Amino acid sequence: MRAIDYFDRGHDRNPQRLAIVDTETGLKLTYAETRAQSIQIAAALQKGGFENQDLLGLYGPNDGMLLVVLLAMWRANGKWVPVNTRNAIDANAAYINYVRLKWMVYHSSKADEVAQLKALCPTLQHFVCLDKRMGDDPSLAEFVEGVSEADFVEPEVDAFGNLMDMVGIFPTGGTTGPSKGANVTNLGWGTMIETAADGMGGRTDDPVALVSAPITHAAGPIALSTMSLGATQVILPGFDAEAVLRTIAEYKVTHMYLPPTAMYQLLASPQIGDHDYSSLKIFILVGSPCSPEKLRQAVSIFGPAMCQSYGQVECPMIVAWFPPEDVARFAASAPEKLASCGKPTRSIKVALLDDDGNQVPLGEAGEICVRGALVTHSYFEKPEETAEIRKFGWHHTGDVGKYDEDGYLYIVDRKKDMVVSGGFNVFTSEVEAAVTELAAVKEACVFGIPHEKWGEQVHAVVVADGITGAEIIAYTKDRLGGVKAPKSVEFVDSIPRTAAGKMDKKALRTKYWGDSQRMVN
């Protein structure tokens, strides 16, 4: 099926059920109203020149109408380009130019940044401001004025639901920068939604999903998954620990998801004991591995709702699933198993391979490789990179894992040089390149070290003269954005090397991770 068909499935369950509740703006829309508005906006897009499989990006803080626009874009058979508002402008511009984004719907609070993107991105041609007119850019209300649902021209759909049409070109790094664009098809997207809905569904007749992650890039997949179940989306303007805790109780939230680092902030909140969380059925941790001890604590506070999923942009969200029943059982009886990310789902085949493409014996670590409909089609205009990551007839995740005797999968390291900080992926080679742009820096090695709040923080080991760590951090923050910039800098006389002459990151990381079985957090 198409992406929009999953929303319509939720609509057909109960058109009069609330679909969207925006706690900031007061917006409330039923499924019938959301569907009608998505059709009207899709018709306005078509009238404005939006063509089949055109690209559209969203840019702004969380707003219920951004979710409606996303649905409208899919209804017009467009492709979504997630744009991270936390990125540096140059990084977003680089990705926008790479994929040749044409349309952008933005919030007026981001008008200054959008003005910079306009100057840097010649492919951007069409702009709509969500909440009010900004110069020549119409407001969304103005954009749809005079257009009705009857004006919408349904895109041609084949009997297979246009399985190989694209739903988006998603940046592989989560923070765009030099990321490759993953071509995500209806086939892969639908496989993800159905697998996720299968794991999350059937637990309540009154599903209410809390959305606090950014709709513009992170929240879309799970929002659509829960909408297929007919869930009401309760939208916060952003993540705030106290607001999340309060909203769970106030709206009787049943489904929610956060990166582990955000969950850690909930646990640390002085208001953690002030609210009733008994409505929760599903609290998914996604984006990076979770501390087993903190997961055990979460079960004791939020009840038997805690669960985890493992995936990546190229095989989104649900390669492995650790259901709440298992998590709760192991929290009480075998807490060491909470280091797992669960078992492979029924939608994908998983193998642990060595460098020659051979499966490793049980209990040994190998690269996590997958195949199946969940795997994305290719990298946008990068055939060589696509071929490289699909060696031996498998998609190679770059993560290293192992199985235990019960079939649970554990992520123990990363084959690729990448740091996951606060649920965002940071490519260390990009940070190293930025640091070494400074004339005083001779060499830089960047990797992740443990951090209580963010899981991992970006750390730089530098050979340099006449420069301070604060100056390096300030430069890279301006150059790459706050997510990617190092949070700490260590100066050394020389960087250790392997026998092959490469920087020995493993040796450097050992200082911070010790003899831990996992060099991820």
Percent of the chain whose pLDDT exceeds 70: 96
CA angle, 267 as apex, 262 and 268 as ends, to 5°? 95
Tokens describing residue 177: 């920068």
Tokens describing residue 345: 């789902």
Per-residue model confidence (pLDDT) at position 501:
61
- Top CATH class of 342-414 equals mainly beta
Per-residue model confidence (pLDDT) at position 511:
87
- Mean per-residue pLDDT for 347-373? 95
pLDDT level of residue 518 (50, 70, 90 thresholds): low
Give CB contacts under 8 A, 24+ apart, made by 119-124. Answer: 120/89, 120/90, 120/93, 120/96, 121/93, 121/96, 121/97, 122/97, 123/96, 123/97, 124/96
pLDDT at 474 over 80: yes
Pair 318, 311: CB distance under 8 Å: yes
Tokens describing residue 297: 């604590």
Per-residue model confidence (pLDDT) at position 516:
61
- Give the amino acid at 309: S
| pLDDT, greater one: 289 or 73 | 73
Domain locations along the chain? 3-16+30-184, 342-414, 419-513
Q: To the nearest whole number, what is the mean pLDDT of the chain?
A: 92
| pLDDT, greater one: 414 or 405 | 405
pLDDT level of residue 338 (50, 70, 90 thresholds): very high
- Mean per-residue pLDDT for 271-289? 93
Per-residue model confidence (pLDDT) at position 174:
41
Q: Distance between CA atoms of 143 and 341, rounded to whole angstroms?
A: 45
Lowest mean pLDDT, pick from 3-17, 21-35, 177-191, 318-332: 177-191
Q: What burial class does residue 292 get, using C-beta atoms within 10 Å of its C-beta: 0-12 exposed, 13-18 middle, 19+ buried?
A: middle
Phi, psi of 34 (to 5 degrees): -65, -45
Q: Distance between CA atoms of 56 and 105, rounded to whole angstroms?
A: 8
Q: Is the dihedral of CA 326, 330, 333, 337 positive or negative?
A: positive
Residues 50-106 pLDDT 10s: 999 999 999 999 999 999 999 999 999 999 999 988 888 998 999 999 999 999 999
pLDDT at 175 over 50: no
pLDDT at 180 over 50: yes
| pLDDT, greater one: 250 or 292 | 250
pLDDT at 176 over 50: no
For 419-513, CATH number out of 3.40.50.1370, 3.40.1050.10, 3.40.50.1820, 3.30.300.30 equals: 3.30.300.30
Percent of the chain whose pLDDT exceeds 90: 78
- Mean per-residue pLDDT for 291-316? 94
Per-residue model confidence (pLDDT) at position 499:
52
pLDDT level of residue 178 (50, 70, 90 thresholds): low
Residues 134-167 pLDDT 10s: 999 999 999 999 999 999 999 999 999 999 999 9
Which residues 6+ apart lie within 8 Å of 401 measured at CB? 352, 365, 366, 367, 368, 409, 410, 411, 412
Pair 358, 351: CB distance under 8 Å: no
Q: Distance between CA atoms of 315 and 313, rounded to whole angstroms?
A: 5
Pair 215, 239: CB distance under 8 Å: no
Q: Which CATH architecture has domain 3-16+30-184?
A: 3-Layer(aba) Sandwich (3.40)
Tokens describing residue 109: 């609070």
pLDDT level of residue 177 (50, 70, 90 thresholds): very low
Partners of 443 in beta bridges:
463
Lowest mean pLDDT, pick from 111-125, 174-188, 222-236: 174-188
Per-residue model confidence (pLDDT) at position 454:
81
Q: What burial class does residue 22 get, using C-beta atoms within 10 Å of its C-beta: 0-12 exposed, 13-18 middle, 19+ buried?
A: buried
Q: What burial class does residue 144 get, using C-beta atoms within 10 Å of its C-beta: 0-12 exposed, 13-18 middle, 19+ buried?
A: buried
pLDDT at 416 over 80: no
Which residues 6+ apart lie within 8 Å of 367 measured at CB? 352, 353, 354, 355, 396, 397, 398, 399, 400, 401, 415
pLDDT at 413 over 80: no
